[in-house]
Structures are given as structure tokens and as C-alpha cells.
Amino acid sequence: MANSVNQSINRRGVQAVKVEVQVEDKDEDFKPLTREEAQRLREAKPLVSPWAVLAGQLMVGILGACVAWGLTGRQSVGWSAFYGALVVVIPAALFARGLRSQFSSLNAATASFGFFVWEAVKIALSVAMMIAAPRLIADLSWLAMLAGLVLTLKMYWLALWLRPKRTTDLRVRKR
């Protein structure tokens, strides 16, 4: 990195400093992937479908609600746990749908803007659903609802851990 500093004094006697910085490009050896290299990379690192994660979250939420109902014998506890799962699943489904929209994939700027907008919608809907819970669930059990919510949120980690792992040789084959 090369720096140069130019100093000058203007008419009013104020010293002005101009600093020029030249940054060397460390990625000079960067080359874009060919179509075959990109295909091999996709095969080696498969993506996890957000819909599969949402389906897993919903199944865990249903299972958690059944367990809560079975352990306590109270139907309201089961519904509270299930509602806690819905507080995660419904906003996440809206978020995934919003990110998959045509507008959100036009370019990098709209994609990043879309991400923040849909994340804000997801958070606002989650908070609104939690505020509405006492009016929607008779004899709401806050503990069961929070347990269902946390259990469903943990599905993200489980999906990350259980994602398909394929390894292939990514080296470029010379012909």
C-alpha cells in the first residue's frame, strides 16, 4: 500500500491536507468459475430447502404439542405449545416466501433490502402473534407456549446439522 500526503495552505492561512491511498489488489489471481466448476461446487455443497426446514419445524411443533398435552393431560397446554410453534413457523414461511419473490432477486441491492424488510416483517408478526396469544388461546400456558417456540427454533440447528453432505473433488481437471 502506497500513501502520499500533499499539504497546502489556502488564502485564509488554513492548512489543507490531502491524503491519497493506493491499495494493491490482493485478489489478482482471482478467476471466475467455469460452468462445470460451478456445477461441481453445487453438487458438493447442496442447499437446504427453506420449505423442508419449515416442514420440520411444523412437525416438531406438532410433536411438542402432543407431548405437552400428554404429560399434563390439559388440552390448553397442548394448544399453547402448538401456538408457540406457530409463532415461529408462520413468520418464517412469510419470510421465505418474500425472499423467494421475483422482486427480491433482481440484483444484490434489492436482495439485501428485501432481506431486511422481510426480516422486519417476520419479527413484527412474531411479536404481534405473541401479544395476541392470550386472546386466541383459552387458558394460555405461557411456559408451554415458550417451550413450543424454543423447541421449534432449535429446528434451525438440527436442519443445519442434518443437511445433506456430499463431497466431491472440486479440483479442476486438466485435459
User: Does residue 12 lie within any of the structural domains?
Assistant: no
Res 77: pLDDT = 95
Domain count, the chain: 1
Res 159: pLDDT = 74
Q: In this predicted model, which residue has the larger pLDDT, 30 or 116?
A: 116
* 3-class SS of residue 46: coil
Average pLDDT value for residue range 32-58: 81
User: Does residue 79 lie within any of the structural domains?
Assistant: yes
Tell me the three cell numbers of residue 53: 426446514
User: Does residue 90 lie within any of the structural domains?
Assistant: yes
CA 162: distance to chain centroid?
17
Q: Which domain holds residue 53?
A: 48-162
- Contacts of residue 151, defined as CB under 8 A and 6 or more positions apart, other chains included, come to 60, 61, 64, 81, 84, 85
User: Does residue 38 lie within any of the structural domains?
Assistant: no
Q: What percent of the chain has pLDDT over 90?
A: 45
User: Does residue 7 lie within any of the structural domains?
Assistant: no
Would you say 136 and 143 are in contact if contact means Cβ atoms under 8 Å apart? no
pLDDT digits (tens, 9 = 90+) for 63-74: 999 999 999 999
Give the pLDDT band of residue 175 (cuts 50, 70, 90): very low
User: Does residue 17 lie within any of the structural domains?
Assistant: no
The rounded distance, in Å, linking the Cα atoms of 159 and 45 is 14
User: Does residue 95 lie within any of the structural domains?
Assistant: yes
Give the pLDDT band of residue 37 (cuts 50, 70, 90): confident
- Contacts of residue 53, defined as CB under 8 A and 6 or more positions apart, other chains included, come to 92, 155, 156, 159
Phi/psi at 34 (5° precision): -80, 170
User: Does residue 39 lie within any of the structural domains?
Assistant: no
pTM for the model: 0.68
Average pLDDT value for residue range 91-107: 82
